[in-house]
Amino acid sequence: MFIGHFAVALAAKRATPRTSLGWLFAACQLSDLIWPILLLAGVESAHIEPGNTATTPLAFDHYPWSHSLLMTIVWGIVLGGIHLGLRGDRRAAVVLAAVAVSHWVLDWISHRPDLPLTPWSNARVGLGFWNSVVATVAVEGLLFAAGVWLYSRATTPRDGTGRVAWVSLVLFLIVIYLANIFGPPPNNMTAVAVSALAIWVLVWWASWADEHRAVRSSMSGPVA
Ligand SMILES: [Zn+2]
């Protein structure tokens, strides 16, 4: 799953309106922020195999540190803990950890059985939703549209940047999503890992857009 993950972050803005969308983006894609670094370091591995599933040519051979259920929970707690240390907002910390774990749940639905439960077990799980491009695009598209709608309703632009940065972020996500699914397979795993590092830029982009948007007063929500 790709843009489906961002839908969770966009929807979570309502649960913790004072938390920057940048933090929520970091949470929803935490496993995928860590993954390219571990790939480049040679700690985790994947290879290109067109047709691995209908939706992606990537075969995820070994990614227990970024993508096992146990480690996803650990990373979620670490991110929530860092935010708690910086901002002292317990509710936000819990939401961030939960959003991080949602990455594993959505990957479990979409991946074929290649997701480990812990770094030390051989069990691999995955429901294989990616075997259908139509179902994947329909479901992820709906999730993402719902997320965009919820975030747009929860916030309002403070200035022109708040509108442009947000709209361009949404369009950019849609374009790279479609290019990933319908474009040619990548040349090599280094290119995949380097382009996956772009998710770090998306985190920055989301926090930039969010800084220029105000939470609507009806959404200011519970005070932490
Ligand atoms: Zn992932």
Using DSSP bridges, classify how beta strands 155-157 and 213-215 pair: parallel, antiparallel or unpaired. antiparallel
- Using the mean position of ligand 1's atoms as its centre, give its distance from the Cα of residue 5 in Å: 9
How far is the CA of 28 from the CAs of 2, 22, 50, 175, 185, in angstroms? 10, 10, 26, 19, 25
Give the CA-trace dihedral at 104, 110, 114, 119, to 10 degrees: 0
- Using the mean position of ligand 1's atoms as its centre, give its distance from the Cα of residue 123 in Å: 17
Picking from 91, 93, 28, the residue whose alpha carbon sits closest to that of residue 221 is 91
pTM for the structure as a whole: 0.94
Summarised one tens digit per residue, pLDDT across range 163-196 is 999 999 999 999 999 998 889 989 899 999 999 9
pLDDT of the residue at 222: 52
Give the residue-averaged pLDDT of 8-30: 97
Contact 133, 181 (CB under 8 A): yes
- Using the mean position of ligand 1's atoms as its centre, give its distance from the Cα of residue 40 in Å: 16
Choose the weakest-confidence range: 19-23, 129-133, 165-169, 198-202.
Answer: 129-133
Residue 220 confidence class, pLDDT cut points 50, 70, 90: low
- Using the mean position of ligand 1's atoms as its centre, give its distance from the Cα of residue 126 in Å: 12
- Using the mean position of ligand 1's atoms as its centre, give its distance from the Cα of residue 60 in Å: 10
- Using the mean position of ligand 1's atoms as its centre, give its distance from the Cα of residue 17 in Å: 25
Calculate the CA 53 to chain-centre distance. Answer: 20
- Using the mean position of ligand 1's atoms as its centre, give its distance from the Cα of residue 98 in Å: 15
- Using the mean position of ligand 1's atoms as its centre, give its distance from the Cα of residue 158 in Å: 33
